[in-house]
């Protein structure tokens, strides 16, 4: 256990250093970037070790996989769980009841369902819109890969931002997987430009958060304005098994 904590700590610090370096290169304050540690497929022991290593921000892709971990660690103060995967409607209640932030609003229906459950639970759920900025069919997210798709999606965004029990905080994206991190850059730039547009179109909404960048490309994401980077393997090592 102790070696595990030390390993996680060392790798976390290394990522933190790289974040600081990338932020410095473009004149950003490193404190404006949060490292979210992705624990999908990782057992409870690894999450516990991560907490011992000082990590408090976690992300999971599947509510039913996350729930036992979240419940087991409920007594730990200051832990924040973000939902970062495609959410099936019938799992929406778990997210409203047990997650801090829903990062992956990728369709109006799921937003409405979350809003309804949040109303029932008497809470306002912080949330982000997941955008598909690549046009890859396998990717989830509201379509935003060119001007035309972006424009035709604005009605959907208008509906989502008007839901009273969701509080929109910004945007999230997952670009295609590339060999070189530099290839992700255009997609991060695109997300930031869309953020600019949305600030003008919906000035009443807070668009500050940009959740982008993984182990493979976070230095570039930081250079392009990420406020949350989502890191799994670079901190926790290889994933354990296939998720459900």
Ligand X SMILES: *Cc1c(COP(=O)(O)O)cnc(C)c1O
Residues that bind ligand X (CB under 6 A): 38, 40, 61, 84-85, 174, 214-216, 230-234
Task: State which residue has the least CB distance to ligand X.
Answer: 232
CB of 219: closest distance to ligand X in angstroms?
Answer: 13
Ranges of beta strands (E only) in the chain are 34-38, 57-60, 80-83, 101-105, 125-132, 142-143, 166-172, 209-211, 228-231
CB of 179: closest distance to ligand X in angstroms?
Answer: 14
CB of 151: closest distance to ligand X in angstroms?
Answer: 26
Rounded CA separation 222/211 (Å): 10
CB of 78: closest distance to ligand X in angstroms?
Answer: 22
Cβ neighbors of 131 (< 8 A, separation 6 or more) are: 141, 142, 144, 171, 172, 173, 191, 194
Nearer to ligand X, 116 or 185 (CB): 185
Nearer to ligand X, 42 or 165 (CB): 42
Place of tokens 């070790």: 49
- Residue 207: C-alpha distances to residues 42, 67, 152, 166, 204 (Å): 31, 28, 19, 13, 9
- The alpha carbon of 194 is separated from its chain's Cα centroid by a whole number of angstroms, namely 17
Nearer to ligand X, 51 or 226 (CB): 226
Rounded CA separation 207/199 (Å): 7
CB of 158: closest distance to ligand X in angstroms?
Answer: 25
Nearer to ligand X, 205 or 236 (CB): 236
Nearer to ligand X, 104 or 115 (CB): 104
């Amino acid at each position: 256990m102790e070696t595990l904590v030390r390993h996680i700590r060392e790798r976390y610090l290394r990522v933190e250093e790289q974040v600081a370096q990338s932020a410095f290169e473009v004149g950003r304050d490193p404190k404006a970037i949060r490292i979210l540690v992705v624990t999908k497929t990782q057992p409870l022991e690894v999450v516990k070790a991560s907490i011992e290593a000082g990590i408090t921000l976690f992300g999971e892709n599947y509510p039913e996989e996350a729930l036992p971990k979240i419940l087991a660690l409920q007594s730990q103060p200051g832990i924040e769980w973000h939902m970062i995967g495609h959410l099936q409607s019938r799992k929406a209640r778990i997210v409203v009841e047990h997650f801090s932030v829903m990062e992956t609003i990728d369709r109006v229906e799921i937003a409405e369902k979350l809003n309804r459950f949040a109303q029932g639970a008497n809470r306002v759920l912080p949330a982000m819109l997941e955008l598909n900025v690549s046009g890859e069919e396998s990717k989830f997210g509201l379509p935003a890969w060119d001007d035309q798709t972006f424009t035709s999606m604005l009605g959907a965004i208008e509906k989502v931002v008007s839901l009273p029990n969701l509080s929109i905080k910004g945007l999230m994206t997952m670009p295609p997987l590339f060999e070189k991190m530099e290839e992700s850059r255009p997609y991060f730039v695109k997300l930031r430009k869309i953020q600019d547009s949305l600030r003008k179109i919906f000035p009443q909404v807070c668009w500050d958060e940009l959740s982008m960048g993984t182990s493979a490309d976070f230095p570039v994401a930081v250079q392009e304005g990420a406020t949350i980077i989502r890191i799994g393997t670079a901190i926790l090592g290889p994933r354990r098994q296939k998720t459900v």
